[in-house]
Amino acid sequence: MTVSTDRIDVVGIGNAMVDVLTHETEEFVAAQGLVKGSMTLIDADRATELYNQMGSAIEVSGGSAANTIAGVASLGGTGAYIGKVRNDQLGDIFAHDMRSIGVQYGVPRSTEGSPTGRCLILVTPDGERTLSTFLGASVGLTPDDIEGSLVRRARILYLEGYLWDPPAAKAAMRKAAEHAIADDQRVSLTLSDSFCVDRHRESFLDLIDSSVDVLFANEEEITSLLEVDSVEAAIAGIVGRTEICVITQGAAGASIVTADRVVQVPADAVDHVVDTTGAGDLYASGFLVGLAKGHDLEMCGRLGSIAAAEIISHIGPRPEVDLAELVASKLR
């Protein structure tokens, strides 16, 4: 076996998922006992029950970090992904969609146990999405799936907060972070969801203080993490705990917080928001590619805004156009 020694811009680790998207009303979301805009973990039985009540859906590869790495590849960066699917049809779809966009993805599939994970997504008329996740095979990710040689080739290691839920996957993330720290790379974390932050606040803070160089969060997540009431208080609280903290604020753009300054980057204009699924994931794609390529923070934020704007203008969390071409046309 030939081991490549080429550098990789970003290696991402996350729960590998196929998204199942449908349009539903706010009343339907409420009747299902779901909180609009949040992510709820569900078991196989509840997944079947909810699916049976949902309308016609489309299936598209998802998974938060997987979306980010797909975006990295579409932006012309090199990306690799670590996450677990089963040897079933949804697993085929997930693997195809990663490789076809140019992502290095070679994690062995499980051959028994739960089927490939899926995320049932209800898109309401305002473009907001409510997620119910059946983790399925993704919980089978273990430290054995982390190839140290792959992680050490990466300029940036990107970790998904959602992966903090399955215990073995959490251990896998810690192992990857140790490899990255040993090799003096940047370690990046996305908080994923405010309920996820609630479940894991202390261990997230430990990880941030010990290992994280670049933290991604939206307003709800960062204020939940630090248990404060405002973004201003969160900014004051996070300074010094991580090299860079990117706080995404939807249509208001993003605040990029470092030890000595806060950079405000506006959002890219979008005519009609169709589906916000993947907005944060793709913001991270742009920002991380910029960072890996050595751009300044303003340009990193601009790349994030362009990628996020493309994703929310259509259904599904993966780019429909070549993002490198889109960026070239926007920056011309």
Write out the residues near a second copy by the rule CB under 8 A.
23, 51-52, 54-61, 70, 88-90, 93, 96-97, 100-101, 115, 315-316, 318, 320-321
Assigned token pair, 295: 């751009």
When the beta carbons of 33 and 55 are compared against a second copy, the nearer one is: 55
Burial environment of residue 305 by CB neighbours within 10 A (0 to 12, 13 to 18, 19 or more): buried
When the beta carbons of 70 and 225 are compared against a second copy, the nearer one is: 70
Q: How far is the CB of 14 from a second copy (least distance, A)?
A: 17
d(C-alpha 319, C-alpha 305), whole Å: 13
When the beta carbons of 118 and 200 are compared against a second copy, the nearer one is: 118
Assigned token pair, 76: 């012309």
Q: How far is the CB of 54 from a second copy (least distance, A)?
A: 6
Q: How far is the CB of 66 from a second copy (least distance, A)?
A: 11
Q: How far is the CB of 84 from a second copy (least distance, A)?
A: 17
Closest by CA position to 97, among listed 67, 63, 61, 138: 61
Q: How far is the CB of 53 from a second copy (least distance, A)?
A: 8
When the beta carbons of 196 and 289 are compared against a second copy, the nearer one is: 289
When the beta carbons of 24 and 145 are compared against a second copy, the nearer one is: 24
DSSP codes joined into one string, 106-138 = -PPPB-SSSPPPEEEEEE-TTS-EEEEEE-GGG
Could you tell me which residues come within 8 angstroms of residue 133 by beta carbon, excluding any fewer than 6 positions away? 15, 17, 39, 40, 41, 42, 117, 118, 119, 120, 162
